[in-house]
Structure 1
């Protein structure tokens, strides 16, 4: 799930379906109760420790911790690779993203039906919002302020809840993906340097603030936006999917413009690698869909 969440166009929620843990994940998230922390006051007694332990099992916290550690470790690893790819081969990387996102929209298209005024409005709104936002993010330097990072984290968490929709895709849409993968890479390198004594811990302040802000936003999103989207799917499933798929289609403007910015002339020698990168990205999603065709999204 962490590897999938790190790549725009691939969903961690889809991986949860493939491995058969999706329903357990949703159930565990909805069972989390912050008031359980008050049980810590009694852990100095055997009965209190048993009560606290039973409450953790009831909320399936050991499962969430194991899953969370796996997700975080994969995100740290894969985001480093993606950041390096963006630095060394930006055009090819964004062409790869184009293939991922476009194929994801095609796969999800069969789950939507734009046949009512409400669904048409949702589809048009999704496309228009993404097309306009992606134009802004591709044509200028996007601010990386604390509020924007916080909001980005709260929205990106939907990848853990929605099969087919990628959290990294939203980061690309908001112009935060390349920045955040770079900050995460610098933060991890900095922590390792502090551990071996090569750097002072104070040098991590800026990167740590960004990582903490993003994580705080993700936690808040898990208990707000994720629940809101799940409600929308339960009550207006087709309209919600129409909005999300159209959002993905509209956002294709961003990788196209980033490729053109990097190679405006698209010389003959560069077209073939770009087409190949698009094909590889699309092929990854189509293969994933082929082998999971029997899953009820």
Structure 2
């Protein structure tokens, strides 16, 4: 009897697209809110490595297009085909919806109940520490524990940076701020919003989203794309060559991030 073939189901495809859009929405909300990272959410829901691989392939394929070589263009096409577009597109859609919805709707609610919200996010991260530990596989050694401890210290240090005054920033500073913040997005435990707050760029960026300031948003998106493209290749290399050590470090980043989610902080974040 021949093996049965998988049957394409439109209903399952629509459901998968909807669920991935919801996942993207959760990642987007997490990235807008200070104290929690979209990378943390991606790691918790089990799609972090798939995102890193697909993003890395997209960056490499895009760079190959500028070699003006037919063989390289063929290689670029192969890389683009290896990308999980069925995952990335709904994730990006969900994140875009979340950014605009959070700026207008979610943040006022968060501002009304800051302690309750921070405590809820801290509990979520604490309960999810088992995810990277389980993914790392096997018993941790001295190097793994050292990696986790150093990453915890780094996350605590970044979360302890005092808030800077709001900036009327130049285009180059908007670009640099976006590039740094999006690298934090790619790392579980480090909040891109916290970095924007530290640079005095959080409120101006939310204001640009609310007012649809396309000049500001265009520079911000350009900085984010270039920053993420430069960083994602490093992440993929770390997963391929030092997977256990990398996941141990990400566990530490998640632990350290709870410093910024301490519910009873003053206005300077301490």
TM-score relative to the length of structure 1: 0.58
RMSD (Å), alpha carbons: 4.1
Query: Alpha carbons of 1:95 and 1:121: their partners in 2 closer, same or farther (altered >3 Å)?
Result: same
Query: Alpha carbons of 1:80 and 1:230: their partners in 2 closer, same or farther (altered >3 Å)?
Result: farther
Report the Cα offset of residue 214 of structure 1.
Answer: 3.7
The one of 61, 73, 76 equivalent to 1:32 is 61
Which residue number in structure 1 is paired with residue 221 of structure 2? 215
Larger helix proportion of the pair: 1
The one of 131, 146, 153 equivalent to 2:181 is 153
- Deviations 1:214-255 (CA, angstroms, capped at 9, x unpaired): 423321233221110111111111111111111221221222
Contact 2:178 2:223 in 1 (8 A): yes
Q: In structure 2, how many angstroms separate the alpha carbons of the residues matched to 1:187 and 1:32?
A: 31
Contact 1:91 1:259 in 2 (8 A): yes
Deviating 4+ runs (over 6 angstroms):
55-58
Which residue number in structure 1 is paired with residue 191 of structure 2? 170
Q: How does 1:14-163 map to 2 (within 5 A)?
A: 17=47, 25-26=54-55, 28-30=57-59, 32-34=61-63, 36=65, 59-60=80-81, 63=85, 68-112=92-136, 113-116=139-142, 118-137=143-162, 140-141=163-164, 146=173, 149-158=177-186
Which residue number in structure 1 is paired with residue 210 of structure 2? 189
Which residue number in structure 2 is paired with residue 236 of structure 1? 242
Query: Alpha carbons of 1:231 and 1:34: their partners in 2 closer, same or farther (altered >3 Å)?
Result: closer
Query: Alpha carbons of 1:242 and 1:128: their partners in 2 closer, same or farther (altered >3 Å)?
Result: same
Contact 2:166 2:204 in 1 (8 A): no
- Deviations 1:25-73 (CA, angstroms, capped at 9, x unpaired): 357525522453798xxxxxxxxxxxx9xx8797259946665344323
Q: How many residues of Structure 1 are paired with residues of Structure 2 in the alignment? A: 222
Q: Which runs of 5+ in 1 are unaligned?
A: 40-51, 160-164, 192-203, 263-297
Which residue number in structure 1 is paired with residue 264 of structure 2? 259
- When structure 1 is superposed on structure 2, of 5-14 and 58-67 the one drifting more is 58-67
Which residue number in structure 2 is paired with residue 3 of structure 1? 25
Q: In structure 1, how many angstroms separate the alpha carbons of the residues matched to 2:203 and 2:66?
A: 35
The higher-RCO structure (CA 8 Å, 6+ apart) is 1
Q: Which runs of 5+ in 2 are unaligned?
A: 1-22, 31-35
Report the Cα offset of residue 124 of structure 1.
Answer: 1.9
Contact 2:24 2:95 in 1 (8 A): yes
- Secondary structure at the counterpart of residue 186 of structure 2: helix
- Deviations 1:142-161 (CA, angstroms, capped at 9, x unpaired): 776627623433313416xx
Report the Cα offset of residue 115 of structure 1.
Answer: 1.2
Which residue number in structure 1 is paired with residue 13 of structure 2? none
Contact 2:148 2:248 in 1 (8 A): yes
TM-score relative to the length of structure 2: 0.63
In our comparison, the structure showing a higher alpha carbon Rg is 1
